[in-house]
Structure 1
Amino acid sequence: MLDSKYLLTDEQMMQFITKGYLVLQNDMPHQLHLSIMNQIHHVMHNEGNPGNNILPRVPDIQQLFDTPVVKGALSSVLGPDYYMHPHRHCHYNQPGNQTPGGGKWHKDGYWSSMRSHRPWWAMIFYYTHDITEDLGPTAIMPGTQYYEKFLGDQGETLLPTGKAGTMVLVHFDLWHKASLNVSELDRYMLKFQFLRLSSPEYPSWNHQSKKMIVPEGTPAIHLNLWQDVWDWLRGEPTAKQVGTPKNEERVLALRQELEAENAAVRGRAADELGRIGAEAASCAPSLGLLLNDPVETTALNAAYALGHLGTQGIDMLIKQITEGSNLIAERAAYGLQGAGIEAIPELLRVMKHENEKRRALAVFVLGMIGSSEGEVVPSLISSLQDQSEWVRRNAVESLGMLKQAGDQVVSALAKVLKDALRYETDDASESDQPESKKSYESDQPYITNKVGYTAALSLLRTGKSGDVKDAVRSLEQALYSKDRYVRAYAAETLTHLRTDDAVDILIRYYRTSRWCPDTSKASTF
């Protein structure tokens, strides 16, 4: 049992929500870090980068992730049942690296069909040695985890440093890059990814105050967005503004500020209108126009503000998700997520839209809301037959995110997984493939079976619900998928289920797939 003193505080959680990172310090013997670094050095220089196999190649690394400090931080952000993703990598920054500016600013490729502002995923950067700015630590840009566009010179560059064992916990979507290593030493950074298995039902950190207190030095202001994440992590619906009525003159002034030339003024006005709530509903049309604002930070504030304006705000977001450009529709989706269960009836109607993008976004939002009430489950299961693979994949993921998933959800996911595996076989001709699969938008070449991958993950999240016999049978087949991540999720899900059949399947599987960390091209036997 983890001692609660290692869980994060409200202040640390708010830093993670607003700035997207926390620096952790593992209190482990220096000799352990030195040993790990020497083992990595040997592997990298004699065998090459082992990629996903860095952990079995250097098993001592696991000790670092089993410490109370790390387990407490990950449990606080991702819930106590978080999962270490099978993808991990050793980033080697060589001495005298002369790449201009270091690496390129980027977000890691995401594993879902759309990035989530809510922390379903996180990463940890671990340094095996004392890390100084000269050694080229991974640079991060605080507060940028919610932005699709790179801020460039408008953002702050931070180089987290510290003693051996320093770990930087970051929101999965935080912009980052390698910085220049101008020292004469090798710099090793291990990147591990983690994911949440269930939506929060209660605060999983040392939670003391319901009030959201924004830390100093926050690079931008997104009060409604942050409130959405804060309340979601607390297992509460997003707080609706109630209390003393606002002055009508103030609402009118804010509406005028939405048209200001200064983007920061427009953004602050949108944020304040969202905090006012339904009493500012008359500003919904003006906020709707701001979803197309050229400044992303302003557009995000407008989207989340609309989610707080009640029926008129939801109607405007639905209008934009169905009629706006693709960019506007995506921004509207985030606002509808913030609107919560009140948006569900309209989202169910959008699921029948003629455009696959709009259907897919509606399905995504239903998963983010997480409610299984009313027609949500039947509608999502029906979407598993959609002609668009994009829609089907979103439906698979959303079913895995619902609270209180039942037998019908598990059975449906098991069938999806079996069908997805069938399309991997050499016998499946090109004509057998759905037409939408050929034109499916994809920038995720590391996942070769996207629907199967997502189905295996959703079964990991829901597998213990109801009768799991169908799930076990489909997962046994998935152990032999051509997609390495489908195989990894299948093994983890069977381990999680631990039925007699699941254990028997795993024993037979591990007998032939067990990794020997001592065997390499450099070893004698």
Structure 2
Amino acid sequence: MNQNLPKLLTDDQMQTFIKDGVLRLKTDFSNEFHARLLEQLNEVFENEGNPGNNVLPRIRELRKVFEHPVITGALTSVLGPNYLMHTHRHCHYNALPKAGAWHKDSYWGFERMNNHHPWWAMIMYFPQDTPIELGPTGVMPGSHNYKTRTFVQDDTEEELTANGEAGTFVLIHFDIWHRSTSNLTSQPRYMLKFEFMRTEAPSEPSWDYKDSKWRMPATSVANSVQSSAMWEDTWNWLRGEIGSLYGTETVNEEKIVQLASQLAEDDEPVALHAAYELVRYGDAGKNVLLEALRSDNKWTSMCAAYGLTACGQHAAEGLGLVLNDSRKRQVKHAVFALGELQHHAARLVPQIISLLDGGDVKVRRTIADALGMIGEPAKEIVEGLIACLKDEDEQVRFTAALSLLRLREAAAPAIPYLEEALEDDNRYVRGHAVEALRYINTEEAREVLINELIQSRWCSITTKTSTF
């Protein structure tokens, strides 16, 4: 057996990640390896400050972490074999006795509608022994699909802390609620955070797949929230199936009325559970969701959008009608759902692109994301994303570059505009443009990319005390 092959997750580990949004990973790096990294971190922080996005080139040995079969296997399992390490990396330094606030990470400072399907994930790496007293990161298992934390009765009751020996790794869903816990020692605590993105929707399982049936995972630690339909939908999506929950139950009018009432509740977990359960009732459930999507209640509309993503091709026509709504929130939710429908939304691409002209900025941001997920017709989508690269809003621009990389060589007409984006004032527009050129991978793209990387080369051993 090749020891360098990714060590893929099992069915139970994947189901645990779907339900909990978090997995601990165990590698076989030596204590000396972690000690060397810690020594370098101490030196860099003391003499240069936090290296931020430059931590990987500054501490070159870190790259070995992301070549380890346990790490590549976990990321391949969750995000597919062609996943991308994102431009944003960060060293979290905690020396405070006070715990940090519970939060979800933003997508670099901007609001966006979160994906329940795992398009994004993060790895947290602790290079030093991290007992509870040193203030490890705490995460709330099962919270990754929720905007709010109101369903948690006691913040610490189910909190999972990343305490452990040097070399503790934690894989988390990007949208999970987490915090720094109190550092009660006099020693600093480092946590290195790296973000990863799926570059293509799954067409088949990418883990050590044995059984197609969704099962409640034996290793799950999240107990507060129960929503089997939501988890089963994600499981099926990861196996390459869109909308497989649709119409799997015989229509039950009494049950549909009950779920419709729950969908209108302000309790997010209850409403979201109802949205996914309605999908099981086929057209009858879909019609309830389409009506709820038009609700003025933002929570009802949002939860309905998530339910409609699980309806597959059956939801496309109704979502297309909502694109004509005069209310921007409802349009944003419809565009988001159409993105998750992928190629089933292809015929609506011209209508979606037409919303870019003078449209609401949050709608434009959602369009820039959705177009890359829909993927076809490629010519029209590339033209729309080129327009997004020129948008006045930086989030529209950097999301457009990420979407273009999903189209691979079909995005070649955007190369001149990506070259211009390399001079953008926003660091993530620049970083995403580099990645888009790498994934387009034509001769022209490679030439632009290599020239950019040579011209902007950053020397990892040049410091203020060693300038040449």
For normalisation by structure 1, the TM-score amounts to: 0.83
Superposed CA deviations along residues 277-332 of structure 1, whole A, max 9, x for unmatched, are: 24224433332221232332211111111222211211111111113311211111
**Counterpart for residue 462 of structure 2:** 519
Structure 2 unaligned spans of 5+: none
1:347 maps to which of 319, 330, 337: 319
**Counterpart for residue 391 of structure 1:** 363
**Counterpart for residue 93 of structure 1:** 94
Which SS does the other structure have where 2:91 is aligned? strand
d(CA) in 2 for partners of 1:505, 1:320: 47
1:459 partner amino acid: L
d(CA) in 2 for partners of 1:210, 1:300: 24
1:294 maps to which of 266, 275, 299: 266
Q: For 1:65-464, what aligned pairs fall within 5 Å after superposition? A: 65-94=66-95, 97-99=96-98, 102-110=99-107, 113-150=112-149, 151-153=152-154, 156-216=158-218, 217-219=221-223, 220-240=225-245, 277-372=249-344, 375-385=347-357, 387-417=359-389, 419-420=390-391, 423=392, 449-464=394-409
Superposed CA deviations along residues 197-240 of structure 1, whole A, max 9, x for unmatched, are: 11110000011001111124441211000011000001013434
User: How far is 1:381 from its partner?
Assistant: 2.6
d(CA) in 1 for partners of 2:184, 2:396: 44
Judged with a 3 Å threshold, the aligned counterparts in structure 2 of structure 1 residues 51 and 389 are, in CA distance, closer, same or farther, namely same
Judged with a 3 Å threshold, the aligned counterparts in structure 2 of structure 1 residues 372 and 384 are, in CA distance, closer, same or farther, namely farther
Judged with a 3 Å threshold, the aligned counterparts in structure 2 of structure 1 residues 172 and 152 are, in CA distance, closer, same or farther, namely farther
d(CA) in 2 for partners of 1:354, 1:294: 24
2:238 partner amino acid: L
Count of paired positions:
459
Which SS does the other structure have where 1:92 is aligned? strand
**Counterpart for residue 27 of structure 2:** 26
d(CA) in 1 for partners of 2:372, 2:9: 27
**Counterpart for residue 431 of structure 2:** 488
User: How far is 1:60 from its partner?
Assistant: 1.1
Judged with a 3 Å threshold, the aligned counterparts in structure 2 of structure 1 residues 464 and 5 are, in CA distance, closer, same or farther, namely closer
1:508 maps to which of 448, 451, 460: 451
Which SS does the other structure have where 1:146 is aligned? coil
Q: Percentage identity across aligned positions?
A: 40
Judged with a 3 Å threshold, the aligned counterparts in structure 2 of structure 1 residues 288 and 386 are, in CA distance, closer, same or farther, namely farther
Which SS does the other structure have where 1:89 is aligned? strand
Which SS does the other structure have where 1:514 is aligned? coil
d(CA) in 2 for partners of 1:346, 1:191: 40
Q: Contact conserved, 2:316 with 2:345, CA < 8 A, in 1?
A: no
2:445 partner amino acid: A
Q: Contact conserved, 1:10 with 1:207, CA < 8 A, in 2?
A: yes
Q: Contact conserved, 2:203 with 2:240, CA < 8 A, in 1?
A: yes
d(CA) in 2 for partners of 1:381, 1:373: 12
d(CA) in 1 for partners of 2:335, 2:204: 25
Judged with a 3 Å threshold, the aligned counterparts in structure 2 of structure 1 residues 282 and 377 are, in CA distance, closer, same or farther, namely farther
The alignment's C-alpha RMSD in Å is 2.0
Superposed CA deviations along residues 244-298 of structure 1, whole A, max 9, x for unmatched, are: xxxxxxxxxxxxxxxxxxxxxxxxxxxxxxxx72422443333222123233221
2:408 partner amino acid: G
Structure 1 unaligned spans of 5+: 243-275, 424-447
Q: Contact conserved, 1:416 with 1:455, CA < 8 A, in 2?
A: yes
User: How far is 1:241 from its partner?
Assistant: 7.4
Judged with a 3 Å threshold, the aligned counterparts in structure 2 of structure 1 residues 241 and 353 are, in CA distance, closer, same or farther, namely closer
d(CA) in 1 for partners of 2:49, 2:37: 16
d(CA) in 2 for partners of 1:25, 1:316: 45
Superposed CA deviations along residues 421-478 of structure 1, whole A, max 9, x for unmatched, are: xx4xxxxxxxxxxxxxxxxxxxxxxxx601111111111111322xx44211111111
Which SS does the other structure have where 2:384 is aligned? helix
**Counterpart for residue 253 of structure 1:** none
Farther off after superposition, 352-361 or 448-457:
448-457
Q: Contact conserved, 1:2 with 1:72, CA < 8 A, in 2?
A: no
Superposed CA deviations along residues 493-525 of structure 1, whole A, max 9, x for unmatched, are: 112223222222223222321111112234354
Q: Contact conserved, 1:372 with 1:405, CA < 8 A, in 2?
A: no
Which SS does the other structure have where 1:323 is aligned? coil
User: How far is 1:5 from its partner?
Assistant: 6.4
d(CA) in 2 for partners of 1:173, 1:187: 23
**Counterpart for residue 421 of structure 2:** 478
Which SS does the other structure have where 2:249 is aligned? helix
d(CA) in 2 for partners of 1:170, 1:299: 24
1:120 partner amino acid: W
Q: Contact conserved, 1:400 with 1:461, CA < 8 A, in 2?
A: yes
Judged with a 3 Å threshold, the aligned counterparts in structure 2 of structure 1 residues 403 and 476 are, in CA distance, closer, same or farther, namely closer
Q: Contact conserved, 1:14 with 1:214, CA < 8 A, in 2?
A: yes
Q: Contact conserved, 1:281 with 1:309, CA < 8 A, in 2?
A: no
**Counterpart for residue 440 of structure 2:** 497
1:125 partner amino acid: M
Superposed CA deviations along residues 73-126 of structure 1, whole A, max 9, x for unmatched, are: 0000001111111111111122xx321xx1111111136721111111101110
2:142 partner amino acid: G
d(CA) in 1 for partners of 2:416, 2:284: 47
Superposed CA deviations along residues 152-171 of structure 1, whole A, max 9, x for unmatched, are: 51651111233322110001
d(CA) in 1 for partners of 2:5, 2:278: 37
Superposed CA deviations along residues 121-172 of structure 1, whole A, max 9, x for unmatched, are: 1011101122221221101111111121112516511112333221100011
Q: Contact conserved, 2:243 with 2:309, CA < 8 A, in 1?
A: no
d(CA) in 1 for partners of 2:135, 2:359: 48
Judged with a 3 Å threshold, the aligned counterparts in structure 2 of structure 1 residues 198 and 241 are, in CA distance, closer, same or farther, namely closer
Which SS does the other structure have where 1:169 is aligned? strand
**Counterpart for residue 55 of structure 1:** 56
d(CA) in 1 for partners of 2:52, 2:209: 37
Judged with a 3 Å threshold, the aligned counterparts in structure 2 of structure 1 residues 197 and 162 are, in CA distance, closer, same or farther, namely same
